[in-house]
Structure 1
Amino acid sequence: MSKTLESAASLPVTSPPDVAPSKKKQPYPFWLGGVAATIAASITHPLDLTKVRMQATGDKGMIQSIKKTVRTAGVRGLFDGITGTWLRQMSYSLCRFWAYDESKKIVGAGRDAPAWKLALAGSMAGGIAGLVGNPGELIMVRLQSDFAKPPEKRLNYKNSIDGLTRMVKEEGWPSLGRGVGPNVFRAILMNASQLASYDFCKAELLKTGYFEDNINVHVSASFIAGTVATTVCSPADVIKSRIMSASGKEGNSTFQMIKTSFRNEGPMFMFKGWLPAWSRLQPTTILIFVTLEQLKNLVDYTREWRGLQ
């Protein structure tokens, strides 16, 4: 017995094998949201163009407005102002998705965060993005609404860069901040409703057990988010479009614009263009989030292939 104990004591003591610590998941590139939004907005641009023209010029009916555009400028006219859309998405949307992710860290909004924390993070992101993206928003609206005006009132910008250059030259640097109040307010509403609604609905749908984290839940959550965002943002969107579409010489203050619109059209003017806005925002919201999720999957696949995860 003693020999057995001695032989056992003489055996080398081995420590348990080292367990390699799991690598922390790397953050996704900050520009993914901007790319996803640019792709989506390019596809739905004709609907966005129609919405802006109805809000800014008083066209009645979505179909009538589309027919008017095709009649006066051809099918190609449905893509008037596309460079403004690109500029806007790669400034405003790029900033809002980046700021939303950073804001969620600040407020502690994790995977199963309550709706109010997500809305707070979305509001913070919207305020930042609305300010940064105002020049792009302004040029996009002017490019889209220009051909709906009488020839003598058109600005005739060649593209978004030409528009920015001419605005600064003809109206001064302060013109780039035109309509920034309604734009920031709308951006806060949009991100608090769209981004927060998507994250919240996605989490709740996954909890039901009927969904997996795939395209089905992405489409369902984004459909709800698109409807919520359209309704919440409609009043600010109408006011923003009317202020931004006017040149400096025609300009009125936000209060004067609201007062005049109430007097001439009644309170329902705030929901004018809701149908084309929903028709545009709904597929755009679905396309943005589905594209973004696929881009994230592509990044994950690339990282795995390179052995980074």
Structure 2
Amino acid sequence: MPASRTSETIISDASSAMKTAAENPKQATQSFLHTPLIRAALPFINGGIAGMTATSVIQPVDMIKVRLQLAGEGVKTGPKPTPITVFRDIVAQGKVLDLYTGLSAGLLRQAVYTTARLGFFDTFMKSLTASAEAKGNKIGFKERAGAGLAAGGLAAMVGNPADLALIRMQSDGLKPVAERANYKSVIDALTRIAKNEGVTRLWAGAYPTVVRAMALNFGQLAFFSEAKNQLKGTSLSSRTQTLTASAVAGFFASFFSLPFDFVKTRLQKQTRAPDGSLPYKGMFDCFTKVAKEEGLLRFYRGFATYYVRIAPHAMVTLIVADYLGFITK
């Protein structure tokens, strides 16, 4: 008898909830969004959607940036490519849609990497804020920087395979036609790399990827949070404050992370020679060889293109994340 009443109670509660949702869908949505599980997941979900939206917009610029970094490898002198010449070469060799090569890998990377980094950053910031308020203090730039560094490093480790696949797909067109892998999709790239080179190869370049992510997050999230906090007392509108803060964040993110992004690209692009050797043994070996053979300024080749890729990506990501955070409060 008690079991029967329990079943009836469950059915009654479910029926009541469905009736309430039908009569007041807005209230039902708000109730759903405020369940503990959804509240914990929202920063990650919002971050992933924001990152994937930004990548869809910025992918052609990212393609040009990667080609710039790989041009003239091992050569200190010679013609210097520009974003315009790289763009012309890509279009001349195929079609405009080739600029979107690797989009599936880019979207997967954002679904993993940006979901994790923005989600972790938001989670860390909430924890640090609550801890500081309990002591009667306010969090400062040091706490923001620490949250950004930790979130970036953790997310980069998780997202490295998708990042590797993206670089391989974008650099494939630079090889002679007979040597191209012609990956069909990110799943095809990941499967073939794991099968032909070993699963651990999916984490090639993980060290510079993690350092790059920490540098980028330090520049992007910490400076965005700090700039937005500094702009609160100004006469600028909320939207203008977000745009200004994201532009500032984009510059610092580019400045701190480009050398590591350059090394990451070189390490992830390399494949084994017939004798089993690799051009670079690791991050420090790559830094040393590039500095010696190509010059220190090579690490900042394509800074303008990188900034044009990072700043709008940061702006779109942070604005979309901000908006999603607002409507899901």
Q: Under a length normalisation based on structure 1, what TM-score does the superposition of the two structures give?
A: 0.84
1:287-308 deviations in whole A, cap 9, x for unaligned? 11111122223324xxxxxxxx
**Is 1:41–2:55 an aligned residue pair?**
yes
1:116 deviation in Å?
1.3
What is the CA-CA distance between 1:251 and the residue it aligns to? 4.6
Matched, 1:186 2:212: yes
2:260 to 219, 236, 246: 236
After superposition, the C-alpha distances for 1:30-63 in whole angstroms (9 at most, x for unaligned) are: 2111110100111110001100111123361111
| 8 Å Cα contact 2:83/2:305 also seen in 1 | yes
> Are the equivalent residues in 1 in contact too, given 2:167–2:268 (CA < 8 A)?
yes
1:252 maps to: 280
Match of 1:147 in 2: 173
Between the aligned partners of 2:176 and 2:230, the Cα distance in structure 1 is 50
**Structure 1 gaps, min length 5:** 1-22, 301-309
2:158 to 114, 128, 132: 132
**Pair 1:270 & 2:299 matched:** yes
Unaligned runs of 5+ in 2: 1-30, 73-79
* Match of residue 293 from structure 1: 322
Deviations 1:256-308 (A, max 9, x none): 322221122111111111111001111111111111122223324xxxxxxxx
Structure with more helix by fraction? 2
Distance change (3 Å), C-alpha of 1:29 and 1:127: closer
Check the 8 A contact 2:193/2:202 in 1, yes or no.
yes
Distance 1:104 1:72 in 2: 47
Q: Secondary structure at the match of 2:232?
A: helix
Q: Which moved more, 1:221-230 or 1:285-294?
A: 285-294
Contact 1:194 1:228 in 2 (8 A): yes
TM alignment of 1:1-309, pairs within 5 A: 26=34, 27=39, 28-58=42-72, 60-108=81-129, 113-208=139-234, 210-212=235-237, 214-249=238-273, 250-254=278-282, 255-300=284-329
Q: Distance in 2 between matches of 1:50 and 1:103?
A: 34
- For the 8 Å contact 2:43–2:122, the answer to whether it is kept is no
Preserved contact between residue 57 and residue 149 of structure 1 (Cα < 8 Å):
no
Percent pairwise identity: 31
